[in-house]
Chains A and B, each alone.
Chain A
Amino acid sequence: MSFDPTVQSPATLAEAYALLSEPDRALKVIAGGTDLMVLMNAHMLDAAAFLDIWRVDELRGITDEGDALRVGALTTYTHLIGSDLIQRHAPALVAASRTIGAMQIQNRGTIGGNIVNASPAGDSLPVLAAYDAEVEIGSARGTRRVAFNEFYAGYRRTMLQPDELVLAVRIPKLKEGERDFFWKVGTRRAQAISKTVLAAKAAMNGKTIEAINIGVGSVAPTVIRASQTERLLTGARLTPALLEQARQTIGQEITPITDLRSTEHYRRTVTGNVLVKFLRQLAT
């Protein structure tokens, strides 16, 4: 006879905070379940008590805050794809959402879950990295904000305290004249974990790159910014020679491993190719 976990399903943030604040009670937070239930089904999740936040509507909604969009943690990929605001102000996030799983996963998987699950291969994460997003965190003790690019402490480790929830992610809007980009390389066009996944945005002045942010996943223990490559490209004029330098630099900068999905060599090579794909787009 198995021991079934208990579940609390609060309807408000206040209730959720109160439950999380109870001492000596480790609660596993579950949202859309598209990561956690896979682990549970494989008997790889050792949790006796769950906090089901699916009903906390305060965690839903996409709001326009002027220079940024505030995206509630429980926003699903389907909602991101269908959102006028995201389409206009962060189109790379729409592109990323379309590559995640398939309809069934997109209807249930949430951006908050993607962030907290902290997989190095999370497909929305390179977009959030490139966009310099901000994570809004809450608990009974109050709310705080952490830069997305400072949110990960290491492989699958976030800066969240045990009594905290991710409430939302704040994404600065794409500015006039800026262009963004997203490309995921996977075994299939759907239902695939990425071998390498890259998001970027850049501001051009003619053929000169004024500013560029490059986020990459599946090539390090966490999502990363390719800052060396960014430094090489900032203020540089787009020439065939620069493209080759960029390809080399990012290939060397990242720290991919060989695993069941891909090899280190493949990841270094193909990440370089994907970056060049973006840079060629910028040149036209």
Chain B
Amino acid sequence: MDTDKVFDLCSSVCIRGFFSVFMNVRFEVNGIEKVVEAPPMKRLLDVLREELRLTGTKEGCGEGECGACSVIVDGEVINSCLVPVCQVQGCTVLTVEGLSRDGRLDPLQQAFLECGGAQCGICTPGMLIAARALLDENEQPTRDEIAQAIAGNLCRCTGYVKIIDAIEQAAEIKER
């Protein structure tokens, strides 16, 4: 073994041993099983974006107030900035990247496009995920129910009307 490789191995083990604790977390992301090595208290948001390169999920506030980091874990929409990765061991995670299938847009994504439900787009992944969680549980939501379902998702651009229009349209399309 050449000395460079030995040095690299030693330094990475030493650095990890003294300064960081890593764990293996095995979980399903958008239908695919992943194994990630990360500090156990690292935020799910950061693991998705950094280790898994799924940058669709955004950080807006880091305190669970804006919903830009929303993902679905075991069927429930949550703020990934508030979940340490150790807590998703063995779980199923859906991010915005998992909405389209084989290149075909989810009816929600299509509806957002048609209704003009996105302007800058920073809230959009979170909105789509919150909407997906709603429609998975309630196929025919009223506008009030839609508003409640996205109450944890802030948008600074649209004024929410077209977002609600889009979700309503997506629900109708699925009905047909």
Contact = CB atoms under 8 A, between A and B. Distances in A.
Interface of A: 1-7, 9, 30, 33-34, 37-38, 40-42, 50, 52, 54, 78, 101-105, 107-108, 189-191
Contacts of B63: 38, 41-42
Contacts of B79: 34, 104-105, 108
B83 interface: yes
Interface residues of B, number: 34
Contacts of A105: 64, 79, 152
A69 B20 CA distance: 43
Contacts of A107: 76-78
Given A37-B84, A38-B82, A104 B19 contact: no
A104 B86 contact: no
Nearest to B66: A191
B100 interface: no
A159 to B, nearest CB: 27
18 contacts: A3-B19, A4-B42, A5-B41, A6-B21, A33-B84, A37-B81, A41-B81, A42-B62, A50-B40, A52-B86, A52-B87, A104-B130, A105-B152, A107-B78, A108-B76, A108-B82, A190-B148, A191-B65
B63 to A, nearest CB: 5
B39 interface: yes
Contacts of A5: 21, 39-41
A190 B19 CA distance: 40
Interface in B112-157: 130, 133, 148-149, 151-153
Contacts of B149: 103
Contacts, number: 102
B47 to A, nearest CB: 13
A1 B151 contact: no
Contact of B20 (A4, A54, A191): A4
Given A7-B40, A105-B152, A41 B62 contact: yes
B83 A4 contact: no
B78 A190 contact: no
Contacts of B43: 37, 41
B76 to A, nearest CB: 4
Most buried by A among B19, B84, B86: B84
B67 interface: yes
Choose among A33, A42, A190 the residue with the greatest number of B CB atoms under 10 Å from its CB: A33
B65 A4 contact: no
B86 A9 contact: yes
A105 B69 CA distance: 12
Q: Which 5 A-B pairs have the closest CB atoms?
A: A102-B152, A190-B151, A4-B39, A7-B40, A37-B82
Contacts of B153: 102
B84 A104 contact: no
Contacts of B21: 4-6
Contacts of B77: 103-104, 107
B19 A103 contact: no
Contacts of A9: 40, 86-87, 89
A15 to B, nearest CB: 15
- Counting chain A CB atoms within 10 Å of each CB, the highest count among B19, B64, B67, B77 belongs to B64
Contact of B83 (A1, A50, A108): A108
A104 B89 contact: no
B152 A40 contact: no
Interface in B33-50: 39-43
A279 B149 CA distance: 32
B25 to A, nearest CB: 11
A1 to B, nearest CB: 5
B70 interface: yes
